[in-house]
């Protein structure tokens, strides 16, 4: 071919890309965004990636090889061929000692790694340089493959590697609050991914991409259906569909679990009761478990929400939570399954203070649960508020494995349109010291099992995933899925490091991009707390959908459903007295914690109104009155929302157009709604405090009646 | 650059595509799939596409130029540059006589073209060869641009063009049955595209792609919300969102319309009634129309479902349909708006025969409607059944413009998973002869206005569009959207020609692909009729969601909700006697039609049981008894479903993997469900006929109780 023709062909290719349009940058790729690295990095990486040598055969090893092929093709801009043996320098060798004689011969001491752990090491084999990705288990190899790709995605050298890692928690689960009609409770990302109508026949390729994304961060289980559960999921027609998903997820190390409706023996089994001590009920569950395991041999187990918010449970039959959990545990035990029993209880009778209820119900049951039961406890004692102190059960059940439930979807943090990176919030609770066994008894040490030597450990994240093209409803909510997975793998990781890692993988490695984005993310959670519920305020959202402010709501049937119950603002002051002079729920914490939280002087300001009813004119440490400080905080949140918008606008030249525009539009919504929150909340609180706005702080744009009249009946996620 | 380096670069580009992954073939592109043509066609097309010359400025002309740029870049594999003037051979010149002196100078007699018409002609300008896309209106230019691209997509020569076309109908609308919470009534493609929660701020790029797709087939309006309407769509908060969509759609010639809830003056206006003759009510609607037109100057008008299936209407206040329609028409008339008033009535009292009800209510009103009212009539007299005779109102209202409502979404034709190309069904009804003004008075001539000289003409298609990645819930349902648009543009087009055009654009031009696909499509509708409701049977679907067979259903509150009401099978025979000996609704047709349909000998076999109650042993023309013929037809439908599956399997080497797999899975579902339909229906009918299955026809796989017990409460679209 003459040179001219070659150049012409080159130009044509550049222009037309052979008629294959480039994939739009719409966020579908998530953090598995394998765009080609800069030429200088290509040169650095090339010698260490000349071939992919998979030794041994299994679906999981094949998935690891396929991911490396796909990832390296994108990142390095060329195909890295698969090979049976390493015949030159630069091979990437993957396998286990069982599958690979080569790895067996390297004496890597893989037995030190626990389940799912892996090791990536630069070695020399028969005089040839190579990189091994080795593990005692196939799934560890897959995790290692994703790690190697992440190293390249974040522009770290790969020529002298010696990286080893083991997940610190055993069960790293997503909880999908997905209904059988594909609606998603508290879902802001479209419909459920699970297209039950078309399963089991239609195996949407998206199911595989879901599994890839989860495996890349070490998530190893998914509860497929809502905790407000429908017994039909346990009928044969649906179990066949569940099994189809399990088959797709299996190579990626993801086991399926189901939320079990406690009265399923009545709802679909034809029994007259669901009493956990009734032999017929016990037999029904055993048979049901056997049926499930015949279809899904690695079925993970059941998640149960019982006697809470109207769900049936053992108390309906005069039994307690341990009776209920143990019956189910007995049914799945022969198959190696577990039962996750939620501690989020919320009885039909009004408690004195819901913040103490779970503690009071569960603490006395410590030691009564079968070994394959884990009690699943939300991060805080109320319900996924923008900020909560840690749940007092952590540290209080030394004989019962506790796993932590976090809400990745942002029910109370602005849905999908508000940018709020939850890493710092989760880090805060994991770092909190329970003082259960003296100083340093952090929540992280409770849930990683090291404090009480738990037989099982785990974390559950309420998923923010739906069929929106970007998966999470917004580009930045992908970071919460990512951060949740990373913290479930290792609760000691720093939120900032995770944010930086995610930013590099998702947006790019240009420091002029990474720094501002990480900065936005790290300040974003506090901004939402400030413009929604500063200083320990909580549960002030509008009724039902929880979209927008509703601090004035006082007409719901139960006292503890009403925002006024939680803020208790009056002419004199504001805040929920949870000290000895009030509900005394502070006493559920260890003494060192209780005395700090219970002291008006020593309580951290961010929890002030969570634990104390405080006069409007009370002077805070900074010198301002509480009333003035509230105005300052609300206003600061709005300013921060504006600042994020400006930061993002300046990044336009460095971000692909479609994703940039989407985030810009969402930040505009956030700024509007931050103002709405501030103005509506302050208009209402001022009607009680009767105090003026400090100079230089604008009063609300409208009067209180205006805000009270706003109705948004079609807000999503209900 | 040395030659070696050039080759290397070339290879790297081929392999890595510069790190920009190729777009997966997932159906998102629809028929606007601009993959590069074969090299020999590139050579043929290249000389006629050297530059794109847009003369004049407008958002619509810019959209036409942008589409040509995008389309030609993909199809020809190279950028075709935009230019101000044609400076060499091969320019594509677009504009109107007003915008382009060049086009004005060509003396193209564009005034012969009606609104939206265009002309594409190969010309010589100042000695240079060029192709002009000319129209009297900007939107005509956009339609012409899409036509030129279609010529290339279907591999037709473009060097000697003289193509002119004008849409035959004025209003070519989609009706979206989309609710404000994004659920879609009878939607099988995910959620509504309209993300009301994020509008007006977030302008999803998908809205623009929706507009492009519609403009490419000439659709020029969209009713955004469900005919079972919610008055909140008319509140300021929602009108602002509607206006944002209107702004996005405007350059593509698409006007927005809204379904108006008749009692909106009460629901959101604070009035005590919605009586169309009450001056306060009339004033409220005038003010509401003024408010809408301030936000959306080209707002199309209202669609109304009144006094039907529980919707409020003028009869609630003792008025008739003309009173109601005229009041709304008066409100929008000053702004050039129209009112589309649905004839699908279905009163609270049970009629003798619903097939006659619309005729009986509307025919007497002919002549009473204001000039800007169009009465919207479904294709058949019942409700979008797999096959219906044409609606007797066509031809019966010479003084009232009638537009036809077709259901693009497949409520009664297998949802999204059954392949059923509806072109032949629509062609059949358009070609039907009403005999309203003697022979040749086809339905097409009624709705194109030529028979009665209507002042307005139009067609409405109930959309099958949602947020599924492939838009329509399946790849092949895109063909129904496409065919609907093409027939609304020209009701005389042939269904086969449309199928071939769509296949070439969507799947490719390889004859080994085109012929089998068109063959599948053309036989698919008859297959569904055969396995669901052969020989004129209708309305035998399960309750509510209409998923699956329910011919035995007899327990619904109203007689005419029950399948048994429609098939009337008993020990003696089956079918609905609509002749003089029965409901006599056949008498609503013109005498020539009525006598044919009313005669057991002359009625077309496909409508036999629609009009006649026929003994099981009645001999049909082919010699079989009715009972045997039913078994033959049901079985033929199942066989046809199997044959489609085989045809498709053989196309695997010629179709991209993901789309091929998706269609394969769906065809497997269809085959399963075809068997279900056949076996359940025949098991039930045999319980009445008590006649045996002919030899070589398998009896149902299960007994009737098995089929009656099937429940599918989570079927979508309710």
The pLDDT assigned to B107 comes to: 87
Q: Cβ contacts (< 8 Å) between A11 and chain B: which residues?
A: 78
B22 to A23: CB separation less than 8 angstroms, yes or no: yes
The distance of B9 to chain A (nearest Cα, Å) reads 8
Catalytic residue status for A309: yes
The pLDDT assigned to B23 comes to: 64
A19 to B36: CB separation less than 8 angstroms, yes or no: yes
The distance of A4 to chain B (nearest Cα, Å) reads 10
- B509/A contact by beta carbon, under 8 A: no
| Separation of alpha carbons A434 and A432, rounded Å | 6
| Separation of alpha carbons A219 and A226, rounded Å | 18
The distance of B205 to chain A (nearest Cα, Å) reads 8
For residues A642-662, give the mean pLDDT: 98
Residue A347 has pLDDT above 80, yes or no: no
Scanning every residue of chain B, which has its alpha carbon at the shortest distance from the alpha carbon of A665? B202
B21 to A74: CB separation less than 8 angstroms, yes or no: yes
Sites in chain B below the pLDDT cut of 50: 1-2, 4-20
The pLDDT assigned to A22 comes to: 58
The distance of A78 to chain B (nearest Cα, Å) reads 5
Residue B257, beta-bridge partner list: B223, B301
A374 — pLDDT class (breaks 50, 70, 90): very high
CB B121 within 8 A of CB B159: no
Q: Cβ contacts (< 8 Å) between B74 and chain A: which residues?
A: 16, 19, 21
| Separation of alpha carbons A547 and A717, rounded Å | 10
B22 to A19: CB separation less than 8 angstroms, yes or no: no
The pLDDT assigned to B559 comes to: 87
Q: Which of A635, A636, A638, A667 is nearest to A650 (CA)?
A: A667
| Separation of alpha carbons A622 and A636, rounded Å | 15
Scanning every residue of chain A, which has its alpha carbon at the shortest distance from the alpha carbon of B80? A15
The pLDDT assigned to B290 comes to: 98
Give the SS3 label for residue B162: strand
- B468/A contact by beta carbon, under 8 A: yes
The distance of A715 to chain B (nearest Cα, Å) reads 6
Among B350, B383, B437, B605, which one carries the catalytic annotation? B383
- A35/B contact by beta carbon, under 8 A: yes
- A196/B contact by beta carbon, under 8 A: yes
If you count residue pairs, one on A and one on B, with CB atoms under 8 Å apart, how many are there? 167
B22 to A24: CB separation less than 8 angstroms, yes or no: no
Q: Which helix (H) or strand (E) holds A373?
A: strand A373-378
DSSP string, A174-238: EE--B-TTS-BTT--SSS-S--TTTTTT---HHHHHHHHHHHHTT--EEE-S-SS--GGGGSHHH
- A75/B contact by beta carbon, under 8 A: yes
Scanning every residue of chain A, which has its alpha carbon at the shortest distance from the alpha carbon of B662? A202
The pLDDT assigned to B347 comes to: 67
The pLDDT assigned to A352 comes to: 78
CA distance to A693, B533, B540, B600, per residue, from B607 (Å): 77, 11, 15, 10
Residue B134, beta-bridge partner list: B95, B119
**Angle at which helices A59-76 and A138-153 pack, to 10 degrees?**
10
| Separation of alpha carbons B571 and B209, rounded Å | 55
The pLDDT assigned to A519 comes to: 98
Scanning every residue of chain B, which has its alpha carbon at the shortest distance from the alpha carbon of A16? B77
CA distance to B43, B53, B69, B135, B141, per residue, from B49 (Å): 11, 10, 10, 20, 17
B232 to A713: CB separation less than 8 angstroms, yes or no: yes
Query: Mutating which of B3, B10, B17 best tests the A interface, going by the most A Cβ atoms within 10 A?
Result: B17
Closest partner residue to A20 (CB to CB) among B23, B78, B662 is B23
Scanning every residue of chain B, which has its alpha carbon at the shortest distance from the alpha carbon of A12? B78
The pLDDT assigned to B22 comes to: 59
A665 to B202: CB separation less than 8 angstroms, yes or no: yes
Q: How far apart are the first and last CA of chain A?
A: 64
A5 — pLDDT class (breaks 50, 70, 90): very low
CA distance to A314, B216, B464, per residue, from B254 (Å): 58, 11, 17
Query: Mutating which of B4, B9, B714, B717 best tests the A interface, going by the most A Cβ atoms within 10 A?
Result: B714
The distance of A46 to chain B (nearest Cα, Å) reads 13
A417 to B202: CB separation less than 8 angstroms, yes or no: yes
The pLDDT assigned to A667 comes to: 98
A346 — pLDDT class (breaks 50, 70, 90): confident
Q: pLDDT for B631-685, tens place per residue?
A: 999 999 999 999 999 999 999 999 999 999 999 999 999 999 999 999 999 999 9
Scanning every residue of chain A, which has its alpha carbon at the shortest distance from the alpha carbon of B418? A198
Sequence-distant (6+) residues with CB within 8 A of B417 are: A197, A198, A202, B473, B474, B666, B669, B670, B673
CB A558 within 8 A of CB A357: no
The distance of A416 to chain B (nearest Cα, Å) reads 10
A669 to B19: CB separation less than 8 angstroms, yes or no: no
The pLDDT assigned to B6 comes to: 46
Query: Mutating which of A32, A81, A201, A237 best tests the B interface, going by the most B Cβ atoms within 10 A?
Result: A201
Closest partner residue to A714 (CB to CB) among B180, B469, B666 is B180
Q: Cβ contacts (< 8 Å) between B12 and chain A: which residues?
A: 77-78
Q: Which of residues 241-300 of B touch A (CB under 8 A)?
A: none
Closest partner residue to A19 (CB to CB) among B19, B77, B202 is B77
Q: Which of A93, A102, A80 is nearest to A121 (CA)?
A: A93
Residue reference for tokens 């955004």: B224
* DSSP summary character for residue A19: G
Sequence-distant (6+) residues with CB within 8 A of A660 are: A648, A651, A652
A76 to B7: CB separation less than 8 angstroms, yes or no: no
- B229/A contact by beta carbon, under 8 A: no
Closest partner residue to B467 (CB to CB) among A190, A203, A415 is A190
CB A409 within 8 A of CB A436: no
Q: What is the mean pLDDT of chain A?
A: 95
Q: Cβ contacts (< 8 Å) between A3 and chain B: which residues?
A: 3, 6
Among A85, A272, A290, A309, which one carries the catalytic annotation? A309
Provide, rounded to the nearest whole percent, the portion of chain A with pLDDT above 70: 96
The distance of B231 to chain A (nearest Cα, Å) reads 13
B78 to A666: CB separation less than 8 angstroms, yes or no: no
Give the SS3 label for residue B279: helix
The pLDDT assigned to B14 comes to: 40
A107 — pLDDT class (breaks 50, 70, 90): confident
The CA-CA-CA angle for residues B660, B666, B671, to 5°, reads 125
Query: Mutating which of A8, A12, A20 best tests the B interface, going by the most B Cβ atoms within 10 A?
Result: A20
A23 to B18: CB separation less than 8 angstroms, yes or no: no
The pLDDT assigned to B273 comes to: 97
A10 — pLDDT class (breaks 50, 70, 90): very low
| Separation of alpha carbons B600 and B611, rounded Å | 8
Residue A292 has pLDDT above 60, yes or no: yes
A235 — pLDDT class (breaks 50, 70, 90): very high
A7 to B9: CB separation less than 8 angstroms, yes or no: no
DSSP string, A564-595: HHHH---SSEE----STTTT-GGGGS-HHHHH
Residue A427 has pLDDT above 70, yes or no: yes
Sequence-distant (6+) residues with CB within 8 A of A112 are: none
Residue A14 has pLDDT above 60, yes or no: no
The pLDDT assigned to A12 comes to: 39
Tell me what ipTM this predicted complex has. Answer: 0.95
For residues A119-132, give the mean pLDDT: 96
How crowded is residue A647: how many other Cβ atoms within 10 Å of its Cβ?
Answer: 15
A8 — pLDDT class (breaks 50, 70, 90): very low
Token representation of residue B238 = 């929602």
Q: Which of residues 640-669 of A touch B (CB under 8 A)?
A: 658, 661-662, 665-666, 668-669
| Separation of alpha carbons A546 and B702, rounded Å | 49
Q: pLDDT for B333-353, tens place per residue?
A: 999 999 999 999 876 676 679
For residues A555-570, give the mean pLDDT: 93
Closest partner residue to A15 (CB to CB) among B35, B79, B182 is B79
For residues A689-705, give the mean pLDDT: 97
């Amino acid at each position: 071919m003459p040179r001219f023709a070659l150049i012409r062909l080159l130009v044509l290719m550049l222009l037309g890309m052979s008629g294959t349009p480039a994939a739009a940058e719409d966020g579908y790729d998530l953090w598995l965004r394998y765009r080609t690295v800069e030429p200088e990095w290509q040169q650095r990486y090339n010698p260490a990636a000349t071939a992919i040598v998979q030794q041994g055969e299994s679906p999981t090893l094949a998935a690891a090889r396929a991911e490396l092929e796909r990832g390296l093709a994108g990142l390095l801009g060329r195909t890295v061929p698969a090979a049976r043996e390493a015949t030159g320098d630069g091979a990437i060798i993957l396998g286990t000692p069982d599958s690979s004689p080569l790895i067996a011969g390297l004496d890597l001491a893989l037995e030190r790694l626990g389940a799912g752990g892996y090791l990536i090491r630069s070695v020399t084999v028969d005089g040839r340089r190579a990189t091994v990705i080795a593990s005692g288990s196939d799934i560890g190899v897959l995790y290692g493959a994703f790690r190697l790709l992440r190293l390249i995605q974040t522009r770290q050298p790969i020529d002298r590697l010696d990286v080893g890692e083991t997940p610190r928690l055993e069960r790293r689960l997503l909880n999908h609050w997905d209904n059988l009609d594909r609606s998603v409770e508290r879902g802001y990302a479209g419909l459920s991914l699970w297209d039950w109508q078309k399963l089991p026949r239609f195996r949407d390729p998206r199911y595989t991409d879901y599994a890839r994304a989860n495996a890349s961060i070490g998530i190893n289980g998914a509860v497929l259906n809502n905790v407000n559960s429908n017994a039909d999921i346990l009928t044969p027609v649906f179990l066949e569909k569940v099994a189809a998903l399990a088959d797709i997820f299996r190579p990626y190390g993801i086991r399926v679990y189901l939320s079990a409706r406690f009265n399923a023996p009545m709802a679909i089994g034809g029994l007259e009761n669901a009493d956990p001590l009734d032999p017929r009920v016990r037999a029904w569950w055993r048979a049901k478990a056997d049926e499930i395991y015949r279809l899904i041999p690695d079925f993970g187990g059941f998640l149960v929400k019982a006697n809470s918010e109207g769900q049936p449970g053992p108390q309906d039959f005069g039994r307690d939570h341990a009776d209920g959990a143990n019956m189910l545990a007995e049914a799945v035990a022969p198959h190696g399954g577990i039962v996750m029993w939620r501690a989020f209880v919320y009885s039909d009778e009004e408690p004195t203070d819901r913040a103490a209820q779970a503690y009071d119900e569960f603490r006395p049951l410590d030691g009564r649960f079968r070994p394959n039961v884990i009690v699943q406890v939300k991060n805080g004692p109320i319900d996924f508020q923008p900020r909560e102190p840690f749940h007092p059960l952590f540290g209080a059940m030394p004989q019962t494995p506790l796993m932590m439930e976090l809400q990745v979807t942002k029910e109370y943090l602005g849905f999908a349109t508000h940018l709020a990176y939850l890493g710092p919030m989760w880090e805060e609770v994991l770092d909190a010291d329970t003082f259960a066994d003296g100083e340093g008894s952090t929540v992280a040490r409770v849930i990683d099992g090291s404090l009480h030597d738990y037989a099982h450990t785990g974390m559950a994240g309420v998923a923010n995933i739906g069929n929106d093209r970007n998966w999470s409803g917004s580009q930045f909510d992908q970071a919460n899925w990512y951060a949740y997975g990373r913290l479930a793998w290792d609760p000691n990781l720093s939120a900032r490091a995770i944010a930086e890692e995610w930013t590099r993988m998702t947006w790019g490695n240009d420091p002029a991009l990474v720094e501002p984005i990480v900065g936005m993310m790290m300040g974003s959670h506090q901004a939402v707390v400030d413009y929604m519920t500063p200083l320990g305020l909580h549960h002030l959202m509008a009724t039902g959908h929880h979209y927008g402010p509703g601090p004035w709501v006082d007409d719901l049937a139960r006292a503890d459903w009403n925002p006024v119950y939680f803020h208790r603002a009056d002419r004199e002051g504001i805040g929920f007295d949870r000290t000895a002079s009030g509900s005394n729920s502070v006493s559920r914490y260890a003494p060192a914690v209780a005395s700090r939280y219970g002291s008006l002087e020593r309580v951290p300001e961010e929890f002030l109104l969570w634990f104390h009813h405080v006069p409007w004119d009370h002077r805070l440490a900074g010198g301002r009155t509480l009333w003035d400080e509230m105005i300052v905080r609300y206003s600061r949140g709005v300013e921060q929302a504006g600042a994020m918008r400006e930061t993002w606008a300046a990044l336009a030249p460095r971000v692909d157009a479609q994703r940039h525009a989407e985030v810009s539009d969402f930040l505009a919504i956030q700024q509007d709604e931050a103002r709405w929150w501030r103005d509506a909340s302050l208009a209402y609180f001022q009607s009680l405090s009767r105090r003026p706005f400090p100079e230089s702080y604008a009063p609300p744009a409208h009067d209180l009646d205006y805000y009270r009249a706003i109705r948004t009946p079609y807000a999503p996620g209900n």
